[in-house]
A and B are shown apart, each in its own frame.
Chain A
Amino acid sequence: METAWDIDLCALTIGYGSHIVLHNVTASFPAGRISMILGESGSGKSTLLRHIIGLSVPKSGRITIAGTDCTRMDDAEARRLRRRMGVLFQDGALLGSLTVLENVALPLTEHLRLPKELIRKEALRVLGMVELEQVADYYPSQLSGGMRKRAGLARAIITNPSLLLCDEPTSGLDPLTAARMDILLLTLHRQFPGMTILVVSHDLESFHHIADYTLVIKDGLGIFSGTKDAFYASNDPYLVRYRTRSSEATVADFSSTMDPRVSSELSRWLANP
């Protein structure tokens, strides 16, 4: 593995068309650490990740990875940079027409001139790291959500990337499977101390266990950027509510009454044998 990669966001504004998703975000994710982008659902975390990966172009500002400004790269430079990245997409993004083994081996099959048997062995080794050797010949549609994510993680790390980016690795998983994913990321971090890991999540439990640094997004702004300890020490009312899972609204309002026409039609339908 090469030198560890840090990520700097400088006055970054991103969006689609005329819609601004994030405005003037500045943050740093240090090299060789696990950082987490936290925020509510729909706050623009995954959109920010897509921009860091280089799949979308920011409206203004800079994204610097390992000292290189990604927003001013030509295609060849961007491709070289991506070779050192591993990305775990939200649902794994495994190719449906390939088996799990073929999916994990894909970066090697496409880029290296090695015997098939050696590539297979290597893919099985990485599948073993995420405890999926037994489903190597299954198709992604035959796997559970957690297995798909772990297979996606195996594909992301097979090239020994310097930068691992994970989009919601624990979302939609039961607590035990989510904890298993956290342990996988922590183990990876211990085994490859040079690897910078950036995770997008809203999972506070996961943040508590694995993250060193964080950026918190709210209403299109980066409202906090710093260490985990600083996050827990902050008295910012929003961060306090986020930490304690206490919503602004204490009671949900269901007091509005149903239109009588809907109510009577609904009663008629429910009474219908």
Chain B
Amino acid sequence: MGRCVRFVCNMLASTGAATIFFGKGLLGIVESGRIGRRTVAQIYAIGCQSIFVIMLIGFFCGMVLGLQGYYTLVKFGSVGLLGSAISLTLIRELGPVLTAIMLTGRAGSSMTAEIGVMRISDQIDALDVMDINSMAYLVSPRLLASLVAFPLLTALFDVIGILGGYVTGVLMLGINEGVYFYRIEASVLPIDVWGGFVKSLVFALLVTTVCCYQGYTTHLRRDSAGPAAVGNATTQAVVVSCVCILAADYVLTSFFL
């Protein structure tokens, strides 16, 4: 019982600290006059370097959806709805969620490790000593960059996924091409697209905050120290980010539906 209470207290304390950390990161965007170049570098690190993996996952995800959707819809004689099923599933749910999870693994873990190493090797202290706001220098550009990269990569994931569904549904299983695209056009509403983008923006803030926070507080870990602490912080950042993504997805989905 005591352990449960301690766990809940620790979780609440961490959530509070991460929220304050997020606030300071946002404040850094406003306060820092020279954030542009670092933000562009982060957009490259988070966004451009993830394009290939996002396209790959998106394509196979669309193909699997096309295959599963076809064999489910054919039972009801509704294969013509395959385009709607694939596009709505991707745009509303899988696009934002899978993109965020992929970016957590690829870019988020790298953020935690990089900031964690900087923390244990006194680099963050060195920034503070030089009167350089370490939050504005390290966290704010990543927050801003993820707000740009996540929605764009989500859009890319959706488009490539729809193409993957096209390959399975139209080229391999013989659904009419016109019907496939007509159904997409007819069933996808602007609210679906905006809903997907809002989700990706929320996920961007969640993932970046969690990953940067874990890296920034590496030296405060009680379970380990030094390089082991960086490893543990990175693992925890990925796990917590994924849980946050799925929990936030449920909340946002129930809000949009």
B 106-120 binary contact with A (CB < 8 Å = 1; else 0) = 000000001001100
Interface size class for chain A?
Answer: 20 to 34
Instruction: Return the chain B residue nearest A88 by Cβ.
Output: B126
Tell whether A89 is near chain B: CB-to-CB under 8 Å: yes
Interface bits A81-105 vs B (CB < 8 Å: 1, else 0): 0110101011101111100000000
Contact among B114, B121, B131, B137 with A82 in the assembled complex (CB-CB below 8 Å): B131
Whether A110 sits at the interface, judged by CB under 8 Å, is yes
Contact B123 A93 (CB under 8 A): yes
- With beta carbons under 8 angstroms apart, the residue of A55, A83, A97 that contacts B131 is A83
Cβ contact within 8 Å between B128 and A93: no
Provide the B199-229 mask, 1 if CB < 8 A to any CB of A, else 0.
0000000000000000000000000000000
Enumerate chain A residues within 8 angstroms of B117, measured Cβ to Cβ.
Answer: 96
A55 touches B123 (CB 8 A): no
The reply to whether the CB of B125 lies closer than 8 angstroms to some CB of chain A is yes
Q: Is A111 an interface residue (CB 8 A)?
A: yes
Minimum Cβ distance to chain B for residue A254 (Å): 29
The residue that A93 contacts in the complex, of B34, B114, B122, B131, with Cβ under 8 A, is: B122
A226 interfacial by beta-carbon distance below 8 Å:
no
Residues of A within 8 A of B121 (CB): 91, 93, 96
With A93-B122, A96-B123 already in contact, the answer to whether A106 and B129 are too (CB < 8 A) is no
In-complex Cβ contact of B129 among A53, A94, A110 (8 A):
A53
Cβ–Cβ contact B125 & A107, under 8 A? no
Q: B122 near A106 (CB under 8 angstroms)? A: no
Chain B's nearest CB lies how many Å from the CB of A100? 14
Classify the secondary structure of B's interface with A. helix
Distance, CA A82 to CA B125, complexed state (A): 12
Judged by a CB distance under 8 angstroms, whether A79 is at the interface is yes
Interface flags for A30-58 (1: CB within 8 Å of B; 0: not) read: 00000000000000000000100101000
Return the chain A residue nearest B122 by Cβ. Answer: A93
Closest Cβ neighbor of B117 among chain A residues = A96
Partner of A90, one of B34, B122, B137: B122
Enumerate chain A residues within 8 angstroms of B129, measured Cβ to Cβ: 53, 55, 82, 85, 87
- The number of chain B residues with a CB under 8 A from chain A is 16
Q: Hey, which chain B residues are within 8 Å of A55, CB to CB? A: 125, 128-129
Chain A CB within 8 A of B171 CB: no
A residues near B4, Cβ cutoff 8 Å: none
Other-chain residue from A50, A87, A97 in contact with B126 (beta carbon distance below 8 A)? A87
CA distance in complex: A109, B128 (Å): 15
Q: Is the CB of B126 within 8 A of A93?
A: yes
Q: Does B20 reach chain A (CB closer than 8 Å)?
A: no
Chain A min CB distance to B13 (Å): 16
B74 surroundings in chain A (CB, below 8 A): none
Q: Indicate if the CB atoms of A107 and B130 lie closer than 8 Å.
A: yes
Q: Are B118 and A95 in touch, CB under 8 angstroms?
A: yes
Say how far B70's CB is from chain A's closest CB, in angstroms: 48
Contacts of A79 in B (CB 8 A): 131
* B30 in the interface (beta carbon within 8 A): no
Q: With a 10 A CB-CB cut-off, give which of A94, A96, A110, A111 has the most chain B CB atoms.
A: A110
Q: Would you give 15 A-B contacts (Cβ < 8 Å), ordered by A?
A: A79-B131, A82-B128, A85-B129, A93-B122, A93-B123, A93-B126, A96-B118, A97-B114, A107-B130, A107-B131, A107-B132, A109-B34, A110-B34, A110-B130, A111-B132
Which residues of chain A have a CB within 8 Å of any CB of chain B? 50, 53, 55, 79, 82-83, 85, 87, 89-91, 93-97, 106-107, 109-111, 155
**Extra 18 A-B pairs, beta carbons < 8 Å, given A96-B121, A155-B130:** A55-B125, A55-B128, A55-B129, A83-B131, A87-B126, A89-B126, A94-B123, A94-B126, A95-B118, A95-B127, A96-B118, A96-B123, A106-B130, A106-B132, A107-B131, A107-B132, A110-B34, A111-B131
